[in-house]
Amino acid sequence: MDENKRLKKENGALSSELASMKNKCKGLFDLVATYENISKKEDEDVRPKLFGVRLEGERERKIKRGEEISETTTILLSQSCK
């Protein structure tokens, strides 16, 4: 009978611990799901990251500047050929 009481007490403690672990596991899954949704939104932005911070899009600025220079060159050449 003593062993039966001890086992019931131990079973209660283990059940309580299991319930606590299930709650922690659920919380962890919720956290991962939230992070996954955030990271999907961030992944849409293809700019490179440095230490987790998006860079200012230097490449896009260079491309735009190159296009402006190309347009200006084309205009200057077309005017000088007239």
Q: How far apart are CA 7 and CA 29, in angstroms?
A: 32
Q: Which helix (H) or strand (E) holds 49?
A: strand 49-50
For 48-79, the pLDDT digits (tens) are 777 777 676 666 677 777 777 777 777 776 66
Domain residue ranges in the chain: 2-80
For 3-49, the pLDDT digits (tens) are 999 999 999 999 999 999 999 988 888 888 787 766 555 556 667 77
